[in-house]
Chains A and B, each alone.
Chain A
Amino acid sequence: MSDKFVRAIRADEIAPGGMKAVELDGHEIVICNCAGTFYAIQRRCGHMNAALELGTLDGPFVTCAMHCAQFDVTTGQAIAGPVPADLGNESPPPKVAAFLQHAGMQMKHIRTESIRTYETKVEDGWVHVAP
């Protein structure tokens, strides 16, 4: 095994469709079990840095729990940006509306970037990641 790989977790620690966050050599990494194949991605969402393991994994696509930005865990490519909040039909109170307008102005410049992926391999029942 190449030196660059670091033993991360046991393969049976994550059920198919599950994710687990680990820290390896100072890198925050999420290991994803996509139907028995393991992928490793950076832990921080490419939109606003939320922890991706708190989201959901559907096939090879992870959805961030914070604003629902989506990424392909096999390539790290962003496939969808944040979903706009549904505020319903009622207008928010003026102070809340002013805050939302201010926040909206700040956030409109935020881009959803693709995320980093890491090489993985399974050996002797352990998932190894190259951070």
Chain B
Amino acid sequence: MDTKSRKKALHYFFDKVVDPLGFKFTPDVELMDFLLEQEVMLEGKHGIPFCPCQPIRHDRARDMQIVCPCIPFHRKHFDAIKRCWCGLFVHKDVIDPDSLPQLPPKDVGFE
């Protein structure tokens, strides 16, 4: 499988999922490209495009919650920080993702 083509496909299909959720791809094109490439590599290894910044625990119920785009499973936290954990997706109103505060879940009352 060609990595470039797979990245293009993931971009297309992910966009359809995250757009109705109020998210968009990060405007940082270099970061987006890097993260999609990591997901293609994870998909090649595990058969599933897991979030590149989360550990795979080999616990199916938990691992399914870090399949990209994992927004529906962690919506409250992502809404509080206006981005997903790895930063591939940000709220639609975000222009500068580097300016967003990094808040752990317990700081926003989710743990």
Contact = CB atoms under 8 A, between A and B. Distances in A.
B1 A72 contact: no
B2 A80 contact: no
B12 A78 contact: no
B6 interface: yes
B8 interface: yes
User: How many of chain B's residues touch chain A, expressed as a range?
Assistant: under 10
Interface string B7-21: 011001100000000
A75 B8 CA distance: 11
Interface in B51-92: none
B5 interface: yes
Nearest to A60: B12
Nearest to B2: A77
16 contacts: A59-B12, A61-B13, A72-B5, A72-B8, A72-B9, A77-B2, A78-B2, A78-B5, A79-B2, A79-B6, A79-B8, A79-B9, A80-B1, A80-B6, A80-B9, A114-B2
A58 B6 CA distance: 15
Contacts of B2: 77-79, 114
Given A78-B2, A79-B2, A80-B9, 18 more contacts: A58-B13, A59-B12, A61-B9, A61-B12, A70-B9, A72-B5, A72-B8, A72-B9, A77-B2, A77-B5, A79-B1, A79-B5, A79-B6, A79-B8, A79-B9, A80-B1, A81-B1, A112-B1
Nearest to B5: A77
Contacts of A78: 1-2, 5
Contacts of A114: 2
Interface in A55-111: 58-61, 70, 72, 75, 77-81
Nearest to B7: A79
B77 to A, nearest CB: 30
